[in-house]
Structure 1
Amino acid sequence: MSLHLYFLRHGETTHSQTGGFCGFLDPELTAPGKQMAQAFADAYKQQPWEAIFCSPMKRTIATAKPLCDALGIEPKLREGLKEINYGKWEDSTQAEVCKQYAEDYIRWQREPAWNPPTEGETTIQIASRASLVIAEIEEKYTNGNVLVVSHKATIRIILCNLLGIDLGRYRDRIDMPVATVSVVKFGTHGPMLQRLGDRNHLPKQLRDREGT
């Protein structure tokens, strides 16, 4: 038996619909977002779980809650799983950022690993803090299933870090719609991606929602 990490991106929020920059902002799930969280719990509650690790944001906690309630366990909240800090770009549209912070935006587009959003975080910083959580999980759980509930950029960066993909290309190589599940198995030769961006647990009307 091996350790399997399940990465779940939170359900829909108003910002995931509009595409505005939302990292350290703390919006609630929309009504469909809550349905996505419940659909995940319904599909996975019969599976044995060793633990649930969760970003301490409202949208991730609310996404983890239905499964935690079904299992009767508490999520382990970790700051390292929070979303990228977009700094001055928070709550702005891409057009607004391009107008107000054009040079920073161009640098971030070209090489986000080392160039942050204005007064925000680099990809390297996110990978560093998130890797501490992954290392904690690997140390505590050598076998079984562990769920990690986090965010779009953070999960993509973790996956790139685990799979040896250039961290600066996380936005170009991996897509991560809301409420998707990705699975990594830790075996003899290290992490192996077994599933990416799976939404089969969602009913069709939720899978078909735009802006996610």
Structure 2
Amino acid sequence: MSTQVIFIRHGETDWNRIKRIQGHIDIPLATSGVEQAQKLAQRLEREVKQGARLDAIYSSDLMRAQQTAQPIASALGLPLQLRQGLRERQYGAFQGHDSDEIAGRFPDEYAHWQTRDPGFAPPDGESQRAFYHRVLHAIEPIIAVHPGGRIACVAHGGVLDCVYRYANGLSLEAPRTYSLLNTSMNVVDFDGAAAAVVTWADVEHLGGHSQDDNLRKVPEPGR
């Protein structure tokens, strides 16, 4: 019995705009991000009134995700359920810096990072491989609670990247060719161990426009 999950990236933050890595730093939404979250909530409320279902809403416990999820929960009268496992990747010493600053402060680690080695971890941070498995292990019990259901998970660009790779059988080393947009709706069906993308990077509620703040020099989501 399949379960449908709407994965939602948090709204825009000031650090998204300047391509500064947030990781586990608890950055709030920018004013623009708050507006995006409100528009998303209005869309989902309208769809539910028109007959769509939404059984539950989960969120990363970081502020930017909670601020995106809470308007949806309030509009639909659903409790917001927080999961630490849905957090962004822990970038350790890279957090709070943009790519140029990382290259200057940590030249050897920066060079290694650019190789896309999934086993590489920034100082005091998390490797892409460890992050990927952490995300999948966080999603699995959520899906198990809602067989045949339709739920929403509000998280981060890196989390969405892991989900897309899992559903499409992409390696962690493969360059990203798909969008990870602020406040986008990304629908995935899970049936046992199989997953399939239904729609991706849907920002109709934003007039079709949102930002993918990929690092300029490093081809990975990292936010």
Give the structure-2-normalised TM-score: 0.87
- The range that moved more, 72-81 or 58-67, is 72-81
Q: How many residues matched?
A: 209
Displacement, 1:151? Answer: 0.4
Structure 2 counterpart of 1:176, from 162, 174, 180: 180
Change (3 A) 1:167 1:97: same
Report if the CA contact (8 A) 2:190-2:196 is conserved: yes
Report if the CA contact (8 A) 1:60-1:149 is conserved: yes
Structure 1 counterpart of 2:121, from 105, 111, 116: 116
Structure-1 residue corresponding to 2:148: 143
Structure 2 counterpart of 1:100, from 101, 105, 112: 105
Are 2:84 and 1:73 aligned?
no
**Alignment deviations for residues 142-178 of structure 1 (CA, whole Å, 9 cap, x no partner):** 1121101000112101221233110233x52332021
Displacement, 1:188? Answer: 7.7
Report if the CA contact (8 A) 1:2-1:142 is conserved: yes
Change (3 A) 1:40 1:115: same
* Structure 2 unaligned residues grouped into runs of 5+: 215-223
Change (3 A) 1:188 1:53: closer
Displacement, 1:210? Answer: 8.4
* Structure 2 Cα separation of the partners of residues 55 and 189 of structure 1: 23
* Structure 1 Cα separation of the partners of residues 117 and 81 of structure 2: 29
Displacement, 1:194? Answer: 1.1
* Structure 2 Cα separation of the partners of residues 110 and 12 of structure 1: 28
* Structure 2 Cα separation of the partners of residues 64 and 208 of structure 1: 17
SS at match of 2:22: coil
Report if the CA contact (8 A) 2:41-2:72 is conserved: yes
Displacement, 1:31? Answer: 1.0
Spell out structure 1 runs of 4+ moving beyond 4 A. 208-212
Give the structure-1-normalised TM-score: 0.91
Among the aligned pairs, what percent are the same residue? 25
* Structure 1 Cα separation of the partners of residues 54 and 210 of structure 2: 29
Q: Which amino acid aligns with 1:42?
A: Q
Displacement, 1:66? Answer: 0.7
Report if the CA contact (8 A) 1:161-1:167 is conserved: no
Displacement, 1:19? Answer: 0.4
Structure-1 residue corresponding to 2:221: none
More helix by share: 1
Structure-1 residue corresponding to 2:135: 130
SS at match of 1:137: helix
* Structure 2 Cα separation of the partners of residues 14 and 61 of structure 1: 16
Are 2:68 and 1:63 aligned?
yes
Structure-2 residue corresponding to 1:11: 11
RMSD of Structure 2 on Structure 1 (CA): 2.0
Q: Which amino acid aligns with 2:42?
A: D
Structure 1 counterpart of 2:91, from 86, 94, 97: 86
Q: Which amino acid aligns with 2:88?
A: E
**Alignment deviations for residues 89-114 of structure 1 (CA, whole Å, 9 cap, x no partner):** 11111111011111111211212411
Change (3 A) 1:210 1:21: closer
